[in-house]
Structure 1
Amino acid sequence: MRRILLSLTVMSALATFGQGALAADPTPPTVYYWHNWTDHNGISHMTRCPFHNYVLKTMSKPAGPQWQDRLKEGQAQVISTVQPPHWDGSWHPDPKVQWIVPLKGTWYVTSMDGTRVEMGPGDVSLGEDQMSRKDSKGHFGHFAGNVGDDAVTLMVIQTDEQPTVDQPCRFK
């Protein structure tokens, strides 16, 4: 069994805050993720949430300290996916609670409440809309697709977390 520590240090490199700031400034950084969550009526929403609980420490000596926000420890599956140009995700829920990190290109997610968020390299999304229910139009989960004419490369980290309801920004 492989154990993967989901550490913000991987994502923080994508968030591009300066390396020099770590050594010079003891103030934890502000980094955000998009949370695709479901309310008690089964409607999905997109909310911009901050990561919290940063600790400045080394991950492996003798490497220097870096800001870390350890969100979860446990089983996970890491998937690299390339969505072809003009990929159409249709309406669907996330298959598991999963972190999605765009590596190349831009994609979008539209939640059932109508919120559309475009994400590219440096953005992070937590997909957790498994508890959504079909609305009067037959929509459930979210609608996703690519922006522009290029393929989109994503890193997807599926976890063994149980989906929550009515908990936007679940990592508080």
Structure 2
Amino acid sequence: DLEHLKLLHESILRHQKLSGPIWKHPNANFRDIHRNLQYLNSKIHTIKQRLSSPYTIDYYTLIGLRRGCKRTDVEWTHLLLYLRHRPEKACHFVERCEFVDERDIDAVKDQACVSALMLYRLLQKAYTYIMTCIMEEEAENQKQLKAIEARKEEHNVQVNSVPKQ
């Protein structure tokens, strides 16, 4: 545990004394202990940051699609993955298995159901995220098309309103 190791280094620095007999630490240097303590603090800080920050998942890779795919591809892939990875399907699979060793069958079944449910929820999140991205792209394209049509119409009005000589 890094926190425990940090506490040991701090106590060594505080008391200026290494624990145990002197012959165990012939080359011990307090500067090394201070450097190790700084390293431990930075390592603990990076681990805490990594744990506190939300992890990012590439939903396109999870589902097996490339970026910029069509809505029909996403819907088709979602349907196939839903049919293949339904949570109740995993539970029924475990019921049909025969276990050689002495395991608690109910615990294995519960674990399989929970894992399948987590996978299913992850696939649902991926589908929702990708569909949201596609809808935002479509809305942005619609805005751009409307802006282009408005400019064309404005240009046509200006061309028609110019007096001919």
TM bucket by the smaller chain?
under 0.3
The structure whose Rg is larger is: 2
More helix by share: 2
**Highest relative contact order (Cα 8 Å, sep 6+), 1 or 2?**
1
More strand by share: 1
TM-score by length of 2: 0.20
